[in-house]
């Protein structure tokens, strides 16, 4: 089952810092070419996977991957597992591998416990566990919460929030909600909530426009030109997007994350040219120049 394999690859990337194509091919008993195609599908789904070449090369999730449209809430995971369990008998155990992979996220999924049991088992901090439990009930009851929150920069604020969902991303809990003071959707890291008060005030979930998501969906449309010396990798990495132009291959593709575009393009070195857009070309040049200055300072500091 291809969906089962895609889920397995995604979980491998979440669990490890970097995984090679050969390791994934051996684990899932497919060719390396199939691995490249699967990783590209995962990227197209909105999960940014960076590709690195060389002796230490492989795939890894980009740093800063944060709550894309493909995140899973507590209810999402429970519903998916329950549906798979219901299909298990009809499909003759074909869904068992996917169930095992989901259960590996947290053993409570395989138990008969409630969503609240799942919440309590994932956290390690007693304080955070209590906060998550209160937020979970506030989401279910549509009650406004008031919280003291400290941002990543250290700014402390008091917020009145309409809680919409609880999200779990790579071992960290986040509250998704409508912030009344900012008048927009916000994500709050639970570990940064200093105090929480669940009020008696109830709210009706509102339609919240999200311009950022629409921008991300649009992505960066790029025209790349590759030397024939790297055609095998190009054909594997951009299936269906390649066109031979004499002594080169033209690729028209969409990158949904600027950082991922950088990692892919830079990995081809001088074997690729960015035809368009100019903004992406300038971004790559600036990044390479920053690396050059960094090592120039290091070399000067060592007196060589």
Q: pLDDT tens, position by position, for the chain (304 residues)?
A: 466 677 778 777 776 668 888 888 888 888 888 888 888 877 766 676 777 776 677 888 765 444 444 455 555 556 565 656 655 555 556 566 666 666 655 555 555 544 444 443 444 467 777 888 788 889 889 999 999 998 766 788 999 999 988 876 655 678 889 999 888 888 888 888 999 999 999 999 888 765 443 333 456 889 999 999 998 888 878 877 889 988 999 999 887 677 778 888 988 989 999 999 999 999 899 988 988 888 888 777 654 4
* Helix segments in the chain, DSSP class H: 2-15, 21-28, 32-44, 74-87, 96-105, 115-122, 126-141, 211-218, 231-237, 258-267, 278-301
DSSP summary character for residue 183: T
Q: Which tokens go with 76?
A: 């999402």
Class in CATH terms, 2-61: mainly alpha
Q: Which tokens go with 188?
A: 């709050």
**Segments making up each domain of the chain, as ranges:** 2-61, 74-209, 219-301
Secondary structure tally for the chain: helices H, strands E: 11, 11
What's the rounded Cα separation, in Å, for the pair 220 and 282? 14
pLDDT at 227: 93
CA 251 vs CA 39, 177, 237, 243: distances in Å: 17, 40, 10, 6
Q: Is the peptide bond before 277 cis (omega within 30 degrees of 0)?
A: yes
How many other β-carbons are positioned within 10 Å of the β-carbon of residue 161?
24
Closest by CA to 70, choosing from 96, 98, 49, is: 49
Do 256 and 48 form a contact (C-beta atoms < 8 A)? Answer: yes
Q: Which residues, in sequence order, are bridge partners of residue 254?
A: 221
The number of residues in the chain equals: 304
């Amino acid at each position: 089952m291809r969906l089962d394999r895609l889920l397995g690859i995604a979980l491998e990337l979440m669990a490890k810092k970097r995984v090679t194509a050969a390791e994934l091919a051996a684990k899932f008993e497919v060719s390396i070419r199939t691995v490249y195609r699967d990783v590209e599908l995962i990227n197209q789904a909105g999960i940014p996977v960076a590709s690195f070449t060389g002796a230490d090369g492989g795939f890894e999730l980009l740093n800063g991957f944060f709550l894309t449209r493909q995140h899973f809430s507590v209810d999402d995971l429970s519903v998916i597992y329950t549906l798979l369990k219901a299909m298990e008998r009809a499909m003759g155990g074909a869904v068992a591998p996917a169930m095992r992979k989901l259960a590996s996220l947290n053993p409570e999924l395989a138990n008969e416990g409630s969503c609240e049991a799942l919440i309590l088992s994932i956290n390690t901090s007693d304080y955070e566990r209590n906060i998550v439990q209160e937020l979970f009930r506030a989401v279910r009851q549509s009650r406004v919460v008031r919280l003291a929150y400290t941002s990543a920069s250290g700014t402390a604020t008091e917020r009145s929030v309409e809680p919409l969902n609880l999200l779990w991303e790579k071992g960290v809990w986040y509250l998704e909600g409508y912030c009344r003071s900012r008048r927009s959707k916000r994500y709050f890291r639970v570990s940064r909530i200093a105090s929480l008060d669940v009020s008696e005030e109830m709210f009706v979930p509102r339609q919240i426009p999200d311009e950022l998501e629409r921008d991300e969906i649009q992505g960066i449309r790029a025209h790349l030109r590759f030397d024939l010396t790297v055609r095998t990798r190009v054909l594997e990495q951009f299936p269906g997007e390649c066109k031979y132009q004499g002594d080169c291959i033209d690729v028209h593709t969409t990158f949904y994350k600027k950082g991922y575009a950088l990692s892919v393009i830079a990995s081809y070195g001088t074997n690729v040219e960015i035809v368009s857009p100019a903004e992406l070309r300038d971004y790559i040049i600036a990044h390479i120049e920053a690396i050059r200055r960094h090592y120039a300072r290091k070399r000067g500091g060592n007196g060589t």
